[in-house]
Amino acid sequence: MLHIAKRPRARLLVMFVALSVLTAACAGGEDSAGTGTETTTGSGSGAATGGTVNISGSSTVLPVSQLVAESYADAGNDANVNVDGPGTGDGFQLFCQGETDISDASRPIKEAEVATCEENGIEFVELYIAIDGLSVISNADFDAVECLSFADMYALSGPESQGFDNWTDAQAIAEELGSDTEFPDAPLNISAPGEESGTYDSYVEIVLEDIAEERGQEAQTRPDYQSSGDDNIILQGIQGSPSSYGWVGYAYFAENEGAVKAFEVAEEPGGECVAPTPETIASGDYPISRPLFIYVNAEKAESNPALAPFVDFYLSEEGMAAVAEAGYVDIPEEDLEATRQTWEDRTTGANFASE
């Protein structure tokens, strides 16, 4: 039984409730947040499993799949496992055209993407593998604000903030929304994911959407900021401005903590401010917790002799150790068993599809 609660409306919002607090540690090795966009492992002979596994999609899930691929090779498997991270949306485009075997995703597949897969005859198995806390960050030396509510974040980065180049420009909208946060007189330089990213989609869906709809606005960010599908480029932008603003997956923040800071987050103005940690992400106390997935092409799991053994390894105890090693949070044991059963039964379809 997956402990993912829906807010009171039709589309899925990735908030977690009733999760037991886990003790997964954030390993901080050089590779835990990924240093590039593509990894290839294996000797290339394909003798053990007879083929190649191609993975693309989320840059957030990228470090998990990279680590699993490396462990798979270290265990003596000589299949080629190619891992790329252009973004969740771009990954689903490839996957639903049949060009990849596995699609990494930092959000559930969208209904339109499901339709594209169906049009192309692509059936898939949706596997819930980890929990992330989308981290809202700034330069490590920025101490003018410690906590931001969803209202504050809307005022700074929502559709009505286009053209704001100083934190104070957002003050009036924040106050209209009930916030008493005092923004500093400082340049507002935003570095964050672009529309190809599942992290962008999660930020819009969880943080901005309700407020935008209440104000008669389209649910989207402002368009005028430095966007990238590469989290490392985003981090460079955050570090390059003393009063920056942006958001990344928790593993990328944890890997760079000290060079960047994470704001505490409150869902409502005046609400409890919660910092992203493995414990608050797992418990759902952190307001921007979200599930992470891999999607497996069901037909290729039968026709590609390399694919099923790799997914078996991915969901094994050894494979799933990559979640904490990459800096994310393990899912509860009962949810992991449900994921493994979904894979064993080859249950196809989207349980968490969003609009």
* pLDDT score for 271: 97
- Quick one: which H or E segment has residue 246? strand 244-248
pTM, two decimal places: 0.83
SS (H, E, C) 47-93: CCCCCEEEEEECCCCHHHHHHHHHHHHHCCCCCEEEEECCCHHHHHH
* pLDDT score for 352: 79
Beta strands 102-105 and 52-57: pairing type? parallel
- The span from the CA of 136 to the CA of 354, in Å, is 23
The predicted-structure confidence for 174-188, as pLDDT tens digits, reads as follows 999 999 999 999 999
The predicted-structure confidence for 285-298, as pLDDT tens digits, reads as follows 999 999 999 999 99
- The span from the CA of 265 to the CA of 276, in Å, is 8
For the domain spanning 135-275, the CATH number is 3.40.190.10
Q: State the pLDDT confidence band at 33, using cuts at 50, 70 and 90.
A: very low
Token pair of 162 as six digits: 């286009």
Q: Of 32-46, 228-242, 303-317, give the lowest mean pLDDT range.
A: 32-46
The per-type count for the chain, helices as H runs and strands as E runs, is: 14, 15
Tokens 């992470």, residue located:
292
The predicted-structure confidence for 301-322, as pLDDT tens digits, reads as follows 999 999 999 999 999 999 999 9
- The span from the CA of 39 to the CA of 225, in Å, is 29
Do 54 and 101 meet the contact criterion of CB atoms below 8 Å apart?
yes
For the chain, where do the domains classified as CATH 3.40.190.10 start and end? Answer: 4-132+290-344, 135-275
Token pair of 183 as six digits: 């923004």
Do 108 and 206 meet the contact criterion of CB atoms below 8 Å apart?
no
Start-to-end C-alpha separation, the chain: 23
* Whether the predicted pLDDT of 43 surpasses 60: no
- The span from the CA of 11 to the CA of 298, in Å, is 25
Burial status of residue 107 (CB atoms within 10 A of its CB: 0-12, 13-18, 19 or more): buried
Per-residue pLDDT, averaged over 10-24, amounts to 30
- The span from the CA of 122 to the CA of 47, in Å, is 27
The predicted-structure confidence for 243-273, as pLDDT tens digits, reads as follows 999 999 999 999 999 999 999 999 999 999 9
CA neighbor of 311 nearest in space, from 104, 121, 2: 104
Residue 292 main-chain phi, psi, to 5 deg: -115, 145
The second-level CATH assignment, the architecture, of 4-132+290-344 is 3-Layer(aba) Sandwich (3.40)
